[in-house]
Amino acid sequence: MAIGYVALVLHAHLPFVRHPESDYVLEEEWLYEAITETYVPLLRVFEGLKQDGVDFKITMSMTPPLVSMLRDPLLQERYDAHLTKLEELVEKEAEHNSHNGHIKYLAEHYAKEFSATRELWERYQGDLVTAFKEFQDSNNVDIITCGATHGYLPLMKMYPQAVWAQIQVACEHYEQNFGRPPRGIWLPECAYYEGLERMLADAGLRYFLTDGHGILYARPRPRFGTYAPIFTETGVAAFGRDHESSQQVWSSEVGYPGAPEYREFYKDLGWEAEYEYIKPYIMPNGQRKNTGIKYHKITGRGLGLSDKALYDPYWAREKTAEHASNFMFNRERQVEHLHGIMGRQPIIVSPYDAELFGHWWYEGPWFIDYLFRKSWFDQGTYQMTHFSDYMRANPTQQVCRPSQSSWGYKGFHEYWLNETNTWIYPHLHKTAERMIELSEREPEDELHWRALNQAARELLLAQSSDWAFIMRTGTMVPYAVRRTRSHVMRFNKLYEDIKIGKIDSGWLEKVEYMDNIFPKINYRTYRPL
């Protein structure tokens, strides 16, 4: 009889990046890399576990922008071409390095991986959402939603209609794609403010995830800390992140991904191969970029990229099994300790960005595979669970009011409101005000109806927390600035055209084609609550 629970939670999210107006935009490759390195490897792990009789349980958010992109025919077609180029490149690499046994071995390793990706991709006809839905239908994966465009909710709370739109549009989009309403939500950036749970309850959501201090600073102080969810006064449950188990995985300094046997992320063939050779596989303008083919391992701390030794997947996989065993051992001891103190079954909630597994930490999907297998066969101290199963089995919890919180730097919104990105918020607030104003209008004809709905899309896309996040990290900043400005400018043109009653139908059609997220959106969701 297990005396506790472990809940692994993956947050699968990418901002909505789709540029049909251009033949090539580098940022679209965020999606292609995630498909190849994270989403397909995870599906392959799930299939293997199912095939071997391991009744695994995992919670996984799939955000509306990600689901929309995964189901977009244009992006599916472009990904197919992207994968074809990778397959061609590794085939050339195997031939080109016939004299170098180790590089040839690695090229053949990648060739097998890409071949397996191709097989799964074609089996589902490019629709990976259907693949994940199958595991939800079998109750192995508890798929939860997120804000419609990952908008940072505490910084729009002065406009409750804007917060409501992020929640309602997300729930409607989820139901359209998964065939039932969502039960839970990963709050964007785990950012919570007091009163948000009322909207979550009104939307039919039963639980949400917040960072640990959102629970620890709740009122009254929760008796069991983060090791049991709390119920808010609306009946919506809040789960808190466990810092200890999270850090063991995500930290490249003290966590598993920094092991010297693992693949080095920052040393890529796209930057190292002879220019004329690699030119067909980099950017059309001739600039180098990552290809995803990497031949070196981390090797050791303090070494320059030129000093890295060659990678070996065999030994990396052995190290992954060792780390999965260590994680299991630590959770067993943690559960035993907590059970003795609490006198009831604790739940250890371990949330991570999904792209850590495979994209940033190449061996991450192997770690998940080993962890589920070892937890199933090698121990009986804890039970792997997901949030829906846990809620059904544990319907009684302490009632508290969570504390406002977020994850990231300092944990109280600083990462999304600082000197690098503060300029965007007056624009977003004014746009929200104008959208609430537009929501009261009745459309004169179908063209006005389309314009009003497109205005709602543009506001949602402008509100994506990804743009503020990118401005703060200092990477790809011009793109984030351009996206924020373009959506606000498109909204403002729509607003002015609607106000004067003259819609530019040709321009509207182009914008609808470019920003085609939420095809069934209803602008009236912004009406006063």
Distance CA 442, CA 64 (A): 27
Query: Which residue is it, tokens 């009261």?
Result: 440
Are residue 392 and residue 486 in the same domain, yes or no? no
Q: Is residue 505 part of a domain?
A: yes
Mean pLDDT of 238-243: 96
Q: Is residue 293 part of a domain?
A: no
Express each pLDDT in 272-283 by its tens digit: 999 999 999 999
Are residue 373 and residue 496 in the same domain, yes or no? no
Express each pLDDT in 293-337 by its tens digit: 999 999 987 888 889 999 999 999 999 999 999 999 999 999 999
C-beta separation of 292 from 36 below 8 A: yes
Q: Is residue 430 part of a domain?
A: yes
Residue 48 falls in which region: left (phi positive, over 0), alpha (psi -120 to 50) or beta: alpha
Q: Is residue 165 part of a domain?
A: no
Distance CA 50, CA 39 (A): 17
Q: Is residue 500 part of a domain?
A: yes
Q: Is residue 119 part of a domain?
A: no
Mean pLDDT of 78-102: 97
The domain that holds 20 is classified in CATH as: 3.20.110.10
Express each pLDDT in 359-374 by its tens digit: 999 999 999 999 999 9
User: How high is the mean pLDDT of the chain?
Assistant: 97
Q: How confident is the model at residue 529 (pLDDT cuts 50, 70, 90)?
A: confident
The domain that holds 506 is classified in CATH as: 1.20.1430.10
Q: What pLDDT score does 362 carry? A: 98
Mean pLDDT of 140-160: 98
Mean pLDDT of 4-18: 98
Are residue 504 and residue 399 in the same domain, yes or no? no
Give the residue from 207, 171, 180, 196 showing the smallest Cα distance to 389: 207
Distance CA 215, CA 230 (A): 8
Which positions are catalytic? Answer: 189, 353
Q: What pLDDT score does 252 carry? A: 65
Are residue 401 and residue 473 in the same domain, yes or no? no
* Per-position DSSP letters for 8-36, written without gaps between them: EEEEE-------TTSS--GGGHHHHHHII
Q: What pLDDT score does 417 carry? A: 95
Are residue 32 and residue 72 in the same domain, yes or no? yes
Q: How confident is the model at residue 247 (pLDDT cuts 50, 70, 90)?
A: confident
Q: Which helix (H) or strand (E) holds 94?
A: helix 73-96
Mean pLDDT of 106-110: 98
Distance CA 489, CA 492 (A): 5
Q: 236 is in which domain, residue-wise?
A: 4-77+127-147+187-255+342-410
Are residue 396 and residue 468 in the same domain, yes or no? no
Annotated binding site: 241, 258, 407, 466
Q: What pLDDT score does 254 carry? A: 81
Are residue 405 and residue 469 in the same domain, yes or no? no
Q: What pLDDT score does 251 carry? A: 77
Q: What pLDDT score does 1 carry? A: 87
Q: What pLDDT score does 274 carry? A: 97
Annotated binding site for substrate: 241, 258, 407, 466
Q: Is residue 63 part of a domain?
A: yes
Q: Which helix (H) or strand (E) holds 350?
A: strand 347-353
Q: How confident is the model at residue 409 (pLDDT cuts 50, 70, 90)?
A: confident
Q: pTM, whole model, 2 decimals? A: 0.97
The total of structural domains in the chain comes to: 2
3-class secondary structure, 138 = coil
Express each pLDDT in 185-232 by its tens digit: 999 999 999 999 999 999 999 999 999 999 999 999 999 999 999 999
3-class secondary structure, 210 = strand
Residue 253 has pLDDT above 80, yes or no: no
Q: What pLDDT score does 172 carry? A: 98
Q: Is residue 516 part of a domain?
A: yes
Q: How far is CA 456 from the centre of its chain?
A: 23
Are residue 133 and residue 203 in the same domain, yes or no? yes
Express each pLDDT in 439-493 by its tens digit: 999 999 999 999 999 999 999 999 999 999 999 999 999 999 999 999 999 999 9
